[in-house]
Amino acid sequence: MLSCLRSDRTLRPLFAAVLMGAVVGLSLLWTQTGIHVSGVFALLCPPATVEAAQAPNAFSCSIHSAAADKGWIAWMVGGIFAGAFLTSFWRSRGLRFAIERGEGVRPLTRLVLAAAGGLVVGVGSALAGGCTSSIGLTGSALFSVAAFAFLGVFFLGGFAARIFFGRFWNV
């Protein structure tokens, strides 16, 4: 029988993908919103008005972002942190802080590149109309053509980035 865990106590990719699909499906059934982490920033948006959508921060706020119920966001963020702590203890890491990086790469270099990558993905999320969780996971669960187009380009971009930046990662 195929075990869902590897020898280092990480999930096998297929099993992890099935679990993620189940989480997205349950999220769609329970909250009717799916999963979209960029929704956290909607908490910072002013009340939903035309003026708000035209404000300088309209790149991250839309006329619809402040109108919806955002109670689920607190549960989602809490779940992210709880999951991080649980998996850290599951893998016998505890609360020890570590910067995973490639051999010979300074921690500051790794952190700067991680921040730059996060910034690029954040801007891309705003341009795509949702973060990778939203448009990729939830959109594909709903069979959205835009979601599948996004996922294809996202993975190709990831493969291309691996060619240039792979030495900075600890893989």
Statement: residue 157 has pLDDT above 60: yes
Q: Are 56 and 109 members of one domain?
A: no
pLDDT digits (tens, 9 = 90+) for 115-139: 998 888 877 776 766 677 777 777 8
Give me the percent of the chain exceeding a pLDDT of 70.
71
Domains held by the chain: number: 2
Nearest alpha carbon to residue 169 among 97, 91, 117, 93: 117
Mean pLDDT of the region 65-87: 74
Q: Are 9 and 22 members of one domain?
A: yes
Helix axes 145-165, 107-128, angle to 10 degrees: 160
Q: Are 80 and 151 members of one domain?
A: no
- Which of 76, 98, 120 is a domain's end point? 98
Q: For residue 39, give its domain range.
A: 1-98
Residues 59 and 42 sit within 8 Å (Cβ to Cβ): no
- Which of 98, 132, 157 is a domain's end point? 98
Residues 154 and 162 sit within 8 Å (Cβ to Cβ): no
Q: Are 18 and 70 members of one domain?
A: yes
The mean pLDDT of the chain is 75
- Which of 79, 98, 117 is a domain's end point? 98
**pLDDT value at position 50?**
46
pLDDT digits (tens, 9 = 90+) for 2-59: 677 777 777 788 888 888 788 877 877 877 766 666 666 666 665 555 455 455 544 4
C-alpha distances out from residue 60 to 16, 94, 118, Å: 30, 35, 15
Q: Are 71 and 133 members of one domain?
A: no
